[in-house]
Structure 1
Amino acid sequence: MSFEYGKTLRNGLALCVLAGVLNGCANTGDLGNLMSSLNQGARKYDVAYLKQTIIPGKTTKGQITQMFGAPTNEELNSTSTSNESNWTYEKSDEGLDKYMKLANKYVSTETRQKMYDTSAQLSKAQTVANDVSSVTGTKTGQSQTQGSVLTIYFVDDVVKYYRVY
């Protein structure tokens, strides 16, 4: 494969990802809904959903794995006599963020900069949309009930408690 062909292929892949994001924005009219659809696992960072799903003292590691998949990080407290451990899930390692990190590996520096600039513009647009909905009174308060990191603490493979931040 020639160098030019590989460069064109990488740039085409990056532009397809970007076009999909922009097309989704145009079709949904709501950047928040688009981001939620690209981050299918995002529900695990929603406090209201977690309150309904995780029951301290009853929910097991197996059930958590079924609902949320493998954690980003797993720690075991080896000094504990009651087999304590915790699992951490990080939003930045899932969904659109995961795909953008992967795409960045295969594109040129110039394309990578364009992707970064577009991502920054989308972030600004989301901030403006949040500000507008706050001023107009249509804000649902969702941003206050979601986090980007979920840590679940276990004792003997049963949930002790969890934190979202």
Structure 2
Amino acid sequence: MSFNYGKTLGNGLALCVLAGVLNGCANTGDLGKLMNTLNQGTQKYDVTYLKQTIIPGKTTKGQITQMFGAPTNEELNSTSTSNESNWTYEKNDEGLDKYMKLAHKYVSTETSLKMYETSAQLAKAQTVANDVSSVTGTKTGQSQTQGSVLTIYFVDDVVKYYRVY
């Protein structure tokens, strides 16, 4: 792969992200939809969604696996007499973030820096879009509270409780 081809590919990726941001700024509600499309599975970090989906004392590990896939980290409490364990899902290890980390390995330092800068601008645009929708009263209930880490605590393979932060 020649240097020019890699540079063109990196610039094309940055341009696509920028186009998405500009499109989102034209209609602030669409920016959230765009990001959710790029980050499939991010609903597992949405408190409203989790309240509707995970029922402590009923939801099992098998159901969690079907809904969210394999966890980023799995821990077993070996001192517990009731077979306690917890699973952790981290947003930065999946979706668009996962692919961006991978892309940084294969592009030039200059392109990598441009990608970081574009990501920062995208985060700022999301913050502005959220502020605008709060002021105009168009913020939907589903975009209220999100975290970047979900930890689910189990007892005997059934959800005891969960935390999002």
Give the Å deviation of 1:153.
0.2
| 1:5 to 1:135, Cα distance in 2 relative to 1, 3 A | closer
In the superposition, relative to structure 1, how do residues 143 and 28 fare at CA in structure 2: closer, same or farther (>3 Å)? closer
Q: CA deviation at 1:105?
A: 1.0
The 1:63/1:24 distance shift into structure 2, 3 A limit, reads same
Q: Go from structure 1 to structure 2 and tell me whether the alpha carbon gap of 1:13 and 1:51 turns closer, same or farther (over 3 Å shift).
A: closer
Cα offsets for 1:62-114 (capped at 9, x unmatched): 11101100001111111111111000011111111111111111111111111
Distance 1:130 1:10, change over 3 A: closer
Distance 1:30 1:164 in 2: 25
TM-score normalized by structure 2?
Answer: 0.84
What is the percentage of aligned positions where both structures have the same residue?
92
Residues 1:134 and 1:9: Cα distance change in structure 2 (over 3 Å): closer
- Tell me the CA shift for residue 160 of structure 1: 0.8
Runs of 5+ unmatched residues, structure 2? none
* Distance in 2 of aligned mates of 1:34 and 1:71: 24
- Asked if structure 1 preserves the Cα contact closer than 8 Å seen for 2:60 and 2:157, the reply is yes
CA distance 1:11–1:139, change in 2 (3 Å): closer
Aligned match of 1:134: 134
- Deviation (angstroms), 1:9: 5.3
Contact 1:25 1:34 in 2 (8 A): no
Distance 1:7 1:109, change over 3 A: same
Give CA deviations for 1:34-62 in whole Å, capped at 9, x if unaligned.
Answer: 11111110111122221221111111111
Per-residue deviation, 1:139? 2.3
Q: Which has the higher mean CA deviation after the structures are superposed, 52-61 or 22-31?
A: 22-31
After superposition, the Cα gap between the structure-2 partners of 1:49 and 1:38, relative to the gap in structure 1 and judged at 3 Å, is same
Runs of 4+ in structure 1 over 4 Å off: 1-29
RMSD: 2.6
